């Protein structure tokens, strides 16, 4: 039974990561086609051309999503930013050529001299027709990139909730939080210098992000060299996602060990604390709107994480969270007794968490 549970958890995390990537690419294609058809209507394109244009636009939009979600991040890790931007520009030129060829193909198939109707006689017709396609493409790319950046800041579900007006008033939610913090950050900053240290933190956050996605977590905040991950309680407890997230992060950094040694002469180590309970969720601010969580749960989780060094642990959780998780044969839980946490009147029972056996080889 433990191996069945472990296999199910591994499968769930794998498909969660793939689903996130496919949703990102698919939403990019959908937005691209939406802007494309909106421009077609504004340009008085015949109705019978709309479906062929959509069929042309979807593959180009998906290729655009693949370029932005996979290609460009891959390039940035391996070549200079200038070279990556140049290659990205070449990719856009290829997609622009495909869009122009698709427009010409649709017009030819429908027996039209051009797709869009002229509102009035124009002497600059050929040049106007030639420039319209790049303008349409650039507009579609701009809107698509804008929405994609917005979605990167939150899950699609959370965006829908915000657009629906949720959290304008405080709401109570049951959530689990995971605070992950780099170890020895002060010494690292002194040794590497500000620029190199900032690059290391950037690389660290980038490399652990797939673990957060795979365990269906949401990044609440990046605070200095710390990342705060959260789950609705049911999602965080399912397959012990809130625990697996930490160990998936460890594996991700271990796989990048050679990269960190080559660029920084050090492999980042980190510690974490996890706890859960009721919090109040609300949108705050006017000049800058932000979704925030209020409650003792966050303070307690931060204090739990801060005990890692004193207790010689890399990952601590509260006994309350341990009780919610139920049987978890994949992990070894070592009770550390009641620990005084700063700002807490009563001691908090803590447990050290380690993988009992590795389920990912």
Confidence of residue 226 (pLDDT cuts 50, 70, 90): very high
Domain count within the chain: 2
DSSP classification of residue 117: P
Same domain, 103 and 173: no
Domain range holding 210? 166-355
**Could you tell me if 148 and 173 lie in one domain?**
no
Per-residue pLDDT of 119-152, as tens digits, reads 444 444 556 666 778 888 888 888 888 777 666 6
**Tens digits of residue pLDDT in 261-284:** 999 999 999 999 999 999 999 888
| Helix boundaries (H) for 240-327 | 241-255, 257-264, 296-306, 308-311, 319-325
Read off the pLDDT band of 9 (50, 70, 90). low
The answer to whether the beta carbons of residues 28 and 64 sit under 8 Å apart is: yes
Q: Which residues sit opposite 275 in a β-bridge? A: 177
Residues 98 and 181 grouped into a single domain: no
157 assigned to some structural domain: no
pLDDT higher than threshold 90 for residue 32: no
Could you tell me if 174 and 93 lie in one domain? no
At 153, the pLDDT band (50, 70, 90 cuts) reads: low
Residue 6's pLDDT band (cuts 50, 70, 90)? low
Q: Tens digits of per-residue pLDDT, 100-125?
A: 888 888 888 888 777 766 544 444 45
Q: What is the pLDDT of residues 272-318, one digit of tens each?
A: 999 999 999 988 877 777 888 999 999 999 999 999 989 999 999 99
Same domain? For 171 and 141 the reply is no
| pLDDT averaged over every residue in the chain | 83
Same domain, 199 and 287: yes
For residues 205 and 298, membership in a common domain is answered with yes
What proportion of the chain, given as a percentage, has pLDDT over 90?
35
Same-domain status, 129 and 208: no
Residue 360: inside a domain? no
Q: Which of 101, 123, 152 represents a domain boundary (last residue)?
A: 152
**CATH assignment of the domain containing 321:** 3.30.70.1230
What CA–CA distance (Å, rounded) separates 286 from 112? 51
Q: What angle do CA 12, 251, 213 make, to 5 degrees?
A: 40
Residue 160 lies in a domain: no
Share of the chain above pLDDT 70, in %: 83
């Amino acid at each position: 039974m433990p191996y069945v549970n472990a296999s199910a958890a591994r499968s769930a995390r794998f498909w969660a990561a793939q689903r996130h990537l496919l949703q990102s690419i698919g939403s990019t294609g959908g937005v691209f086609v939406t802007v494309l058809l909106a421009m077609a209507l504004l340009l008085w394109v015949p109705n019978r051309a709309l479906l062929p244009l959509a069929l042309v636009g979807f593959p180009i939009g998906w290729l655009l999503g693949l370029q932005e979600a996979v290609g460009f991040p891959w390039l940035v890790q391996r070549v200079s930013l200038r070279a990556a931007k140049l290659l990205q520009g070449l990719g856009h030129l290829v997609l622009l050529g495909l869009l122009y060829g698709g427009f010409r193909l649709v017009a030819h198939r429908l027996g039209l001299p051009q797709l869009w109707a002229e509102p009035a006689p124009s002497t600059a017709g050929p040049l106007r027709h030639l420039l319209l396609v790049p303008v349409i493409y650039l507009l579609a790319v701009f809107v698509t990139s804008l929405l994609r950046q917005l979605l990167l800041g939150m899950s699609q579900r959370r965006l829908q909730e915000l657009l629906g007006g949720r959290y304008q008033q405080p709401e109570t939610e049951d959530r689990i939080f995971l605070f992950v913090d780099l170890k020895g950050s002060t010494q690292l900053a002194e040794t590497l210098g500000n620029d190199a240290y900032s690059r290391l933190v950037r690389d660290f956050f980038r490399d652990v992000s797939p673990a957060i996605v795979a365990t269906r977590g949401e990044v609440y905040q990046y605070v200095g060299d710390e990342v705060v991950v959260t789950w609705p309680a049911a999602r965080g407890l399912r397959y012990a996602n809130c625990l697996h997230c930490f160990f998936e992060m460890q594996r991700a950094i271990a796989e990048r060990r050679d990269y960190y040694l080559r660029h920084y002469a050090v492999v980042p180590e980190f510690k974490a604390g996890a706890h859960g309970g009721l919090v109040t969720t609300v949108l705050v601010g006017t000049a800058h709107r932000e979704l925030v969580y209020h409650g003792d749960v966050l303070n307690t989780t931060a204090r739990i994480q801060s005990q890692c060094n004193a207790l010689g642990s890399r990952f601590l959780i509260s006994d309350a969270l341990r009780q919610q998780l139920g049987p978890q044969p994949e992990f070894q839980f070592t009770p550390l007794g009641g620990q005084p946490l700063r700002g807490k009147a009563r001691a908090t029972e803590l447990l050290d968490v380690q993988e009992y056996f590795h389920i990912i080889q």
